[in-house]
Amino acid sequence: MLCERKSKNTVDYAVQTNKAEKGSWQMAKITCRRCGRNVEALSEPPMGGSLGQTIQNQICPDCWQEWLAQQVLYINHYGLQLADPEDRKQLIQVMKEFLGLSTA
Ligand SMILES: [Zn+2]
């Protein structure tokens, strides 16, 4: 028996399958983990890897923009060198906390 509840997971799943199989993919709506609004997702993952996918599926463009602004302040404040893997790791950790993403 199919249940058509629009949980976050089914939306995520719809995003994936639409993109992979149908070709005619429309902007998917997501429920933002940070602000809780139901809005159009980012048009593409903002970074590579599974983290980029997670952000696209769970974070709205507005909150992402907020992080981009916040990130600059953070990098400047702590003098982070993004060429340094340790500094990048630290920044990603702060980003997850800022966006409300679990590390699991
Ligand atoms: Zn948001």
Centroid of ligand 1 to alpha carbon of 92 (angstroms):
18
Examine residue 95 and state whether it is found in any structural domain, yes or no: yes
Q: How far apart are CA 47 and CA 35, in angstroms?
A: 20
Per-residue pLDDT of the chain (104 residues; tens, 9 = 90+): 555 555 554 455 545 544 444 444 566 899 999 999 999 999 999 999 999 999 999 999 999 999 999 999 999 999 999 999 999 999 999 999 999 997 55
Examine residue 22 and state whether it is found in any structural domain, yes or no: yes
Centroid of ligand 1 to alpha carbon of 41 (angstroms):
10
Please list the residues that pair with 30 across neighbouring strands. Answer: 39
Structure tokens at 15: 């995003």
Among candidates 41, 47, 51, which has minimal Cα distance to 11?
A: 41
Give this prediction's pTM.
0.71
Domain range for 89 is 8-99
Centroid of ligand 1 to alpha carbon of 23 (angstroms):
27
Centroid of ligand 1 to alpha carbon of 75 (angstroms):
22
Q: How far apart are CA 89 and CA 104, in angstroms?
A: 15
Secondary structure class of 9 (helix, strand, coil): helix
Examine residue 2 and state whether it is found in any structural domain, yes or no: no
Examine residue 3 and state whether it is found in any structural domain, yes or no: no
